[in-house]
Structure 1
Amino acid sequence: MTRIGIVGSEGRMGLALAEAVADAGLDLAGGVDQGGDCARLADSSDVLVDFSSPLALEGNLHAAVGAGIPILVGTTGLEERHHTAIDAAARVIPVLQTGNTALGVTLLAHLVKEAASRLGPEWDIEILEMHHRMKVDAPSGTALLLGQAAADGRGIDLASHSERGRDGQTGARKEGAIGFASLRGGTVAGEHSVILAGEHERLTLSHSAEDRMIFARGAVKAAQWLVDKTSGRYGMQDVLGL
């Protein structure tokens, strides 16, 4: 039976993960939160699932590498240095990093990439997301995941084509840009829409998260899938075979 260790066990996702592990009939190896001993947890686990914070990520990767076990990284708000650390760990162990573990979002990203690749740059792409009032990063990890899917579909670099936080006299929208807008309020688990706006027509691809458990169940499924994989960097699209 797969033993899953939860990093960030006292947070919203950590508690949902513990419930999802029990629902799947798997073994909860334990959990750690801020100040906990991740290395000890790794030694007693078959796979780690990390939904803690960017500040803890490098230490958590080190613990997984030290124990020789896979790790799923669902923490958002990552910077380039975090991705560099993930790449380094992935040369030794299997690492699955994603901005969203919901299976529906994984399929949505696939559809966004396909649409962006088939519709030319004259179709403007805007990504709108809304989350609960307590979320601390923006755009959301999921919005960035969808933006990356759109950029991949068009064969462009997301960072140099992003438009965020428009305010004041911004000038006309640049052709080929991928825009992001973030809303915060209430207890919204997650709402994402990708709008492709052309001349006199508009296509909207969207996903609504009605319960945090969809992320937890997707993470547990992905963690099980990751256990017997070779070293390397993976995404949720690999879990669904996309």
Structure 2
Amino acid sequence: MNTTPLRLLIHGASGRMGQALQRLGSEADSGCDVVAAVSRKVDARVLEGIPQFAASELHGVPEFDVAIDFSLPQAFDAILGLCVARRVALVSGTTGLSDAQKAALDAASVLIPLSWASNFSLGVAVLHTLVERAAQALPGWDCDIVEAHHTRKLDAPSGTALTLGEAAQAGGAAPHYASLRAGDIVGEHLVQFTGMGERIELVHRASNRDIFARGALHAARRLHGRAPGRYRVADLL
């Protein structure tokens, strides 16, 4: 069995997810070696043993096996381009991508293995399936998706809410969305199906964002060495 640590690049390292990925990816039993952390700007060259790079220095980062990207749409093109240029895998949870950026993901998947998801928790992966099955079984019922996040989250509805909406649409429903931004809520998603005199609620609540970071790290380990293509979280978890 290969025991060589997986060399990781963390892109969007100063954000909450980026910080969690650096911490968890540096744990002795993670099976990973964080060789570079990239942020918009840096105040120190090394933090907790991890080399730090500014976004303007992205093309000077050392060799890596997989990049994990939790940044912003305006930073996404650069990390996708670097992964394609170096023919290495990409795991991305950056939401709010434009149609052109989504098309670029599809084009890149011909050359590299990649996994883009709005949410890397196993529970949400299961929720997608449940939502689609409920929509198929309840034709004509109203479908509403309510999501809540911390006040610093910029996009609304959340990427996870939109992905759940796609699952509902695949089952024949027409979802409506509502968003809440309050306090330090990590992430809550409610998918509600309402008929005459009855209602079904499917809910996922995240109390710790480590679940997303651990899921992304697991996806990175499973993605490395695979053939080019787009992989769902369910394919990797």
TMscore range, shorter length: 0.7 to 0.9
Q: Determine the structure 2 residue equivalent to 1:7.
A: 11
Q: Residues 125-140 of structure 1 correspond to what in structure 2 (within 5 A)?
A: 125-140=143-158
Q: Determine the structure 2 residue equivalent to 1:119.
A: 138
Q: Determine the structure 2 residue equivalent to 1:37.
A: 57
Q: Determine the structure 2 residue equivalent to 1:28.
A: 34
1:148-207 deviation line (CA, Å, top 9, x unaligned): 1111222xxxxxxxxxxxxxxxxxxxxx52100000110000010000111211111111
**After the TM superposition, which of the residue ranges 23-32 and 49-58 deviates more from structure 2?**
23-32
CA drift at 1:10: 1.1
> Gaps spanning 5+ residues in structure 2: where?
41-54
Q: Residues 174-193 of structure 1 correspond to what in structure 2 (within 5 A)?
A: 176-193=173-190
CA drift at 1:26: 1.6
Instruction: Provide the secondary structure at the position in 1 that maps to 2:171.
Output: helix
Distance 2:157 2:107 in 1: 26
1:137-158 deviation line (CA, Å, top 9, x unaligned): 100011011111111222xxxx
- Which residue identity lines up with residue 68 of structure 2 in the other structure? V
Distance 1:101 1:39 in 2: 27
Moved over 3 A (4+): none
Do structure 1's residue 232 and structure 2's residue 236 form an aligned pair? no
Distance 1:130 1:47 in 2: 30
CA drift at 1:37: 2.7
- Which residue identity lines up with residue 31 of structure 1 in the other structure? A
- Considering Cα pairs closer than 8 Å and 6+ residues apart, tell me whether 1 or 2 has the greater RCO: 1
Distance 1:76 1:40 in 2: 25
Q: Residues 1-242 of structure 1 correspond to what in structure 2 (within 5 A)?
A: 1-23=5-27, 24-34=30-40, 35-41=55-61, 43-120=62-139, 122-154=140-172, 176-240=173-237
CA drift at 1:228: 1.8
Distance 1:153 1:40 in 2: 46
- Which residue identity lines up with residue 14 of structure 1 in the other structure? G
Instruction: Provide the secondary structure at the position in 2 that maps to 1:37.
Output: helix
Percent identity reads: 43
Distance 2:65 2:149 in 1: 32
Answer yes or no: is the 8 Å Cα contact 2:6–2:31 preserved in 1: no
Q: Determine the structure 2 residue equivalent to 1:163.
A: none
Q: Determine the structure 1 residue equivalent to 2:43.
A: none
Answer yes or no: is the 8 Å Cα contact 2:168–2:174 preserved in 1: no
Instruction: Please give the root-mean-square deviation of Cα atoms over the aligned residues, in Å.
Output: 1.2
Q: Determine the structure 2 residue equivalent to 1:159.
A: none
CA drift at 1:236: 0.8
> Gaps spanning 5+ residues in structure 1: where?
155-175
Distance 1:113 1:229 in 2: 28
Distance 2:60 2:138 in 1: 50
Q: Determine the structure 1 residue equivalent to 2:46.
A: none
Answer yes or no: is the 8 Å Cα contact 2:89–2:224 preserved in 1: yes
Instruction: Provide the secondary structure at the position in 1 that maps to 2:211.
Output: helix
- Which residue identity lines up with residue 193 of structure 1 in the other structure? L
